[in-house]
Amino acid sequence: MSKQFTQRKSSERRAGNGNEAADLNSREYAVGWPDYELLDAGDGKKLERWGDVVTIRPEIQAHFQPGWTCLDWQARADWEFEELSSTQGTWKKLKPQANEHWQIAYQQLTFGLKLTKFKHVGLFPEQQANWRFIAARVKPGDKVLNLFAYTGAASLVARTHGAEVVHVDSIKQMLDWANDNQARSALTDIKWVLEDALKFAKRELKRGSRYDGIIMDPPAWGLGAKGEKWKLENHLADLIETAHGLMHPGAFLILNTYSPKVELQDLASAAAPCFSRNQSEIKQLWMQSKTGKALLYGNLLRVIA
């Protein structure tokens, strides 16, 4: 699979169909922090504060009434993303002095953010739930492999806790962005790999490499460098099997899914040949807004081997 996609994530980032009725015990909630808040959600959009910058972005999971009015949103927001197609759009400036580039902090880390034509700004804040998990599991000297690694938040969290990190993404601009975040955070020595994530992992398997932690945040769909189609549901079992082969005893695995074709049961079925039920946890990833709206962000597999 080539990760030279036309975009980093599915533009709609939908979760598995039919999961809204899952038992509440299968939910995990990410939480905001001083530099990030999910302010409100509804009517197919979400209102977010990133430091001093407030954005309105499309969100297919926000299929309910928002807590605040449209006028409230417009009064608070600096930018609103307007979709031109299912994959791209433009940002409408709502405040004259709105910044197009800025920085926010998460604990001791610093991330550079900017407006992109794919509606993203360089950080997926719902991943705070996984950053907590990584921080709790990683020990100095652990080897961590971050595949489909984007702008590097998970890599930086692991590195902060003493891990030797291999960060893999096939888009050079993402590696450059992640490297800049490393410098902003006063960290060094992350190994950057510009390559197809799954192909790299398979080569590592042949080389006999082993890791204490593996992080995978693959896109739901996309097009490869030669126009080949990537659909996560077609590669899910291969991703998990390959990760299993790379794991030391006691290692952890994190796999996020945003595909409408990958439900909780699909994750369970794909993980079953490699991991026992008591090694795995399969959850929905949620975040609650300041106005009390619960927003679904996808499905999540975590394993401790």
pLDDT given at position 180? 98
User: Tokens 């080897």 correspond to what residue?
Assistant: 143
pLDDT band at residue 85 under the 50/70/90 scheme = confident
pLDDT given at position 86? 74
Residues ≥6 apart with Cβ < 8 Å to 243: 201, 214, 216, 253, 255
Sequence ranges of the domains in the chain: 19-304
Using CA atoms, how far apart are residues 129 and 73, in angstroms rounded to an integer?
26
Look up the pTM and report it: 0.90
The four Cα atoms 41, 44, 47, 48 give a dihedral, to 10 degrees, of 100
pLDDT given at position 232? 86
Cα angle for residues 275, 278, 282 (degrees, 5° grid): 75
Q: What is the pLDDT of residues 191-211, one digit of tens each?
A: 999 999 999 999 999 999 999
Q: Which of 104-113, 219-228, 293-302 has the lowest mean pLDDT?
A: 219-228
pLDDT given at position 237? 94
CATH of 19-304, one of 3.50.50.60, 3.40.50.1820, 3.40.50.150, 3.40.50.1970: 3.40.50.150
pLDDT band at residue 261 under the 50/70/90 scheme = confident
State the burial class of residue 20 (Cβ atoms within 10 Å of its Cβ: 0-12, 13-18, 19+).
exposed
